[in-house]
Structure 1
Amino acid sequence: MTFSSHISNIRRRAITGTQLKEGIRAGEVCNLRISEIHISHQELQKQYPELGTHPALGERRDVMYIPHDRSGNKSSNPRLLPIDDEIRWLLLRHLLTRPQVDEPWVFLSKRTFTQMTPQGVNDEWKEAFHPEYSETDDCAPVTSHYGRHWFSSFWRLAEGLEREQVQYLRGDRVQPIDDFPDAIDEYLHPNYELIEQTYRQNIFKFNISLEHAQF
């Protein structure tokens, strides 16, 4: 499945790309607020004064915050996720062309310019990847949940990231691998500072051309 040349719609590329690289759920895409992402870009910060103002971000740059206590997020724990250069570019292009309406959401419904629904997110995946990657006798269809599967498999199986750190990235409750944990399992508390450098150094690439990324 190709990404960089296959999807031309700016909003669709930002939605699918963010899910693939951040492992977030459709509900978390819908719930993502402009205040909960920081993107280093002077023009964008002028256009969106609320950009990156959520207290959970602190002084961190190029990062997003996913709360756990918002309806539809389904996360057991809040988490901070790094925004790499490709997702920064996709979100930047999206936000600079996003309709200027008084809504806090990063992604809007394309018809009403209000908050998206999970079904709307899945529709964007279908527009991007179906019918080529629709359901077959041997394979499940590529939908928004595919991004979460890809993200989890990449970090745990391809990169060998510690299980607890993958659980943090996914927003899962950190739990032992079996019913008889070692005592230390109760004291494992992965956080953003532990995963940021590994993430930025090892996240897979779409091979998007970034020659105009600073516009």
Structure 2
Amino acid sequence: MTVKELRDKMVDITHIRDRAIVLIQLKLGLRATEVCNLKLSEIHLANSGVLNHYDEMGSVRALKNRENAVYIPHDREGNKSRRPRVLPLDDELRHALLQYLLIRPDNGEPWLFLSKNGRTQLRQKNVNVVWKDAFHPEYAETEDFRAVTSHYGRHRFTTFWRVEEDLNRELIKYMRGDTAGSATLDDRGAIDEYIHTYYEDIEPIYRERIYKLGL
């Protein structure tokens, strides 16, 4: 799908939470399970309104001194990544997340995204339904193409950086949560050093070059 085709579909998503879910996968290449497992403490938005409302926002150690970023752990059940990572949030994604956080049910749950009915942690099937509602039947499976599902966001993210931008392979592996370099992560210090090494490399590149949907 072209950027214009993606934009047209995004504009059609009127539910604020659903738009943020699709956008975070397109912009960061997150798996559906990683989206479900994100906590408020693992995301930072430089906005006084949400920071004052959500005391725990951005409180994980990996986000210290890192504004407008998200931390994705590797050792949470359902997360398949081999390494933790911190990724930047661009202006479009920040705006979508801010809109959602301003109306998010305040029920004490730690999860960033809540289900529509039970107001509890999302399940993978919930994320898949969001994508199906947004992209089907136009982008359902055909004889020539796979269906556009939640995995498409990760595919689009990887293709953009690897093919369109020809980014260093190690940096792409870091952003995807794959094994990057030869770093050993046997303790907290090693994890901190690993994240620092790669995040500081990718942050300016990401913020300058990530594709814009014009939302």
TM-score (norm 1): 0.89
Alignment of 1:38-53 (within 5 A): 38-53=44-59
The answer to whether residue 204 in structure 2 is matched with residue 197 in structure 1 is yes
- Distance in 2 (CA, whole Å) between partners of 1:206 and 1:104 is 30
Larger % of helix: which? 2
CA positional deviation for 1:17: 0.2
Computed over aligned residues only, the root mean square deviation of the Cα atoms, in angstroms, reads 1.5
Determine whether 1:2 maps to 2:2: no
Per-residue Cα deviation, 1:44-79 (whole angstroms, up to 9, x for no partner): 111111111111111110000000000111110000
Letter in structure 1 aligned against 2:179: R
Partner of 1:207: 214
Provide the aligned length of Structure 1 versus Structure 2: 197
Alignment-derived partner of residue 30 in structure 2: 24
In the alignment, residue 198 of structure 1 is paired with which amino acid? I
Displacement of 1:174: 2.3
| In structure 2, C-alpha distance between the alignment counterparts of 1:6 and 1:197, rounded to whole Å | 31
1:118 aligns with 2:124: yes
Distance of 2:199 and 2:6 partners within structure 1: 30
Distance in 2 (CA, whole Å) between partners of 1:129 and 1:104 is 29
| 1:175 CA displacement | 6.3
Give the residue type in structure 2 aligned to 1:94: Y
1:152-191 correspondence to structure 2 within 5 Å? 152-174=158-180, 191=198
SS at match of 1:97: coil
Deviations 1:150-185 (A, max 9, x none): 000000100010111000000001269xxxxxxxxx
| 2:186 corresponding residue in structure 1 | none
Aligned to 1:144: 150
Q: Which residue identity is paired with 2:27?
A: K
Amino acid at match of 1:26: A
Alignment partner, residue 60 of structure 1: 66
Q: Unaligned regions of 5+ residues in structure 1, if any?
A: 177-187, 209-215
Whole-Å separation in 2 of the counterparts to 1:102 and 1:198: 36
The one-letter code matched in structure 1 to 2:210 is I
The one-character-per-residue Cα deviations of 1:21-55 (angstroms, maximum 9, x if unpaired) are 00110000000000000001111111111111111
Query: SS at 2:12's partner residue?
Result: coil
Displacement of 1:202: 0.0
Q: Distance in 2 between matches of 1:61 and 1:106?
A: 17
Deviation at 1:5, TM superposition (A): 1.8
Which amino acid in structure 1 is aligned with residue 58 of structure 2?
G
Q: Percent identity?
A: 51
